[in-house]
């Protein structure tokens, strides 16, 4: 009888380990299901306002659409990286915009959490805090940080989704238009559907100042739908990536070196009155590590 208990324990351990492996495979498939060619509808609307100011002007409701290629850049045991490429202009002469990037890291313990005013605070989490979870790391068009958050993928009732709340800088559609708040609290939900995926957001527009409590200025709803179409519709983006992927690998490598310092990160908004992406989008320059590395370093305070 004494031998039964160790055998039961071993069987239980193997069962739990097998279930964890199967769950991880489900997670990986859900993440990679976001790759491909999509018709995208971007929808944002301000919902509630808390300024207490009668002269407050809400952001305009935004409806945009486009064609986007989501390129699988890396697919390793514990990391999946995907680059979004937006296709704009007429079909006979399309223009490719290197859009945002999302990396997914399994049981990641190193986070950069946005504070405010171009500062990201480094946080080290314990392994127990992130067990079974995936960190989504989102990057700007120049591969500088945007926001990060960790949570578990959920697969239930035929649904696969991941949701998390974290802080971020203002989105481009906002920071070029207003300066009355300086932090976005993002409640993100990524859900896989039969014909693509949905990026569902419920965001706070936050005023954050040193020595004061955070103040919610307003809230907004974001609902972006990605409907899969034939990959051939995104050939221009695929060709762009084939030509330019080596350059952007160098850019990512430099940023990885910066992140690996595990220190709070402060970034300059401009250097010589020019933002980073305008340097990097120069098709003639910044093609080698010797050019790219000192440029990125010049934006790190």
Interval 217-228: pLDDT, tens: 999 999 999 999
Q: Give the mean pLDDT of the chain.
A: 94
How high is the pLDDT of residue 3? 59
Interval 185-227: pLDDT, tens: 999 999 999 999 999 999 999 999 999 999 999 999 999 999 9
Q: Is residue 8 part of a domain?
A: yes
pLDDT cut 90: percent of the chain above it: 90
How high is the pLDDT of residue 2? 55
Asked which of 3-17, 76-90, 209-223 is least confident by mean pLDDT, the reply is 3-17
Q: How confident is the model at residue 9 (pLDDT cuts 50, 70, 90)?
A: low
Q: Is residue 76 part of a domain?
A: yes
For residue 166, give Cα distances in angstroms to 148, 150, 163: 7, 9, 10
How high is the pLDDT of residue 283? 85
pTM: 0.92
Q: Is residue 126 part of a domain?
A: yes
- Domain containing residue 131: 4-230
For residue 94, give Cα distances in angstroms to 68, 87, 235: 12, 6, 10
How high is the pLDDT of residue 4? 62
How high is the pLDDT of residue 236? 97
For residue 181, give Cα distances in angstroms to 178, 210, 218: 8, 13, 9
Pairing of strands 62-75, 79-88: antiparallel
Q: How many Å apart are CA 169 and CA 186, to the nearest integer?
A: 10
Q: What is the SS3 assignment for 30?
A: helix
* First-residue to last-residue Cα distance in the chain: 66
Q: How confident is the model at residue 105 (pLDDT cuts 50, 70, 90)?
A: very high
Q: What phi-psi label fits residue 205: left (phi over 0), alpha (psi between -120 and 50 degrees) or beta?
A: beta
Please state the domain count of the chain: 1
The pLDDT of 110-127, averaged and rounded, is 97
In which residue are the tokens 């160790």 written?
6
Check whether 66 has a pLDDT greater than 90: yes
Interval 240-274: pLDDT, tens: 999 999 999 999 999 999 999 999 999 999 999 99
Check whether 291 has a pLDDT greater than 80: yes
Q: Is residue 296 part of a domain?
A: no
How high is the pLDDT of residue 11? 53
How high is the pLDDT of residue 20? 80
Q: Is residue 113 part of a domain?
A: yes
Q: Is residue 286 part of a domain?
A: no
DSSP calls for 8-25: HHHHHHHHHHHHHHHHHH
Q: 9 versus 287: which is more confidently predicted? A: 287
Q: Is residue 265 part of a domain?
A: no
Q: Is residue 262 part of a domain?
A: no
Taking alpha carbons only, the member of 245, 288, 259 closest to residue 148 is 259
Q: How confident is the model at residue 19 (pLDDT cuts 50, 70, 90)?
A: confident
Strand ranges (E), the chain: 36-49, 62-75, 79-88, 95-106, 110-114, 119-124, 134-139, 145-151, 154-156, 159-168, 183-193, 196-207, 215-229, 265-266
The pLDDT of 57-76, averaged and rounded, is 97
């Amino acid at each position: 009888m004494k031998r039964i208990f160790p055998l039961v324990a071993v069987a239980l351990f193997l069962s739990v380990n097998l279930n964890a492996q199967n769950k991880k495979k489900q997670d990986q498939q859900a993440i990679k299901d976001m790759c491909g060619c999509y018709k995208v509808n971007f929808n944002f609307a301000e919902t509630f306002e808390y300024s207490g100011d009668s002269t407050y002007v809400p952001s305009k409701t935004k409806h945009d659409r486009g064609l986007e290629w989501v390129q699988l850049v890396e697919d390793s045991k514990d990391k999946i990286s995907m680059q979004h490429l937006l296709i704009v202009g007429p079909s006979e002469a399309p223009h490719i915009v290197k859009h945002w990037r999302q990396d997914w890291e399994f049981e990641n313990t190193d986070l950069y959490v946005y504070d405010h005013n171009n500062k990201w605070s480094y946080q080290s989490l314990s392994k127990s805090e992130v067990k079974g979870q995936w960190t989504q790391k989102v990057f700007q068009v120049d591969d500088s940080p945007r926001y990060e958050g960790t949570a578990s993928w959920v697969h239930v009732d035929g649904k696969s989704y991941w949701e998390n709340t974290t802080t971020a800088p203002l989105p481009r559609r906002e920071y070029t238009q207003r300066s009355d708040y300086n932090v976005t609290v993002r409640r993100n939900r990524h859900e896989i559907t039969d014909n693509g995926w949905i990026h569902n957001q419920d965001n706070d527009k936050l005023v954050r100042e040193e020595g004061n409590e955070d103040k919610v200025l307003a809230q907004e709803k974001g609902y972006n739908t990605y409907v899969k179409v034939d990959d051939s519709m995104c050939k221009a983006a695929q060709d762009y990536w084939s030509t330019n992927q080596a350059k952007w690998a160098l850019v990512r490598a430099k940023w990885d070196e910066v992140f690996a310092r595990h220190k709070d990160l402060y970034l300059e908004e401009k250097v010589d009155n020019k933002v980073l992406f305008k340097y990097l989008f120069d098709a003639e320059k910044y093609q080698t590590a010797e050019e790219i590395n000192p440029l990125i370093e010049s934006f790190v305070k």
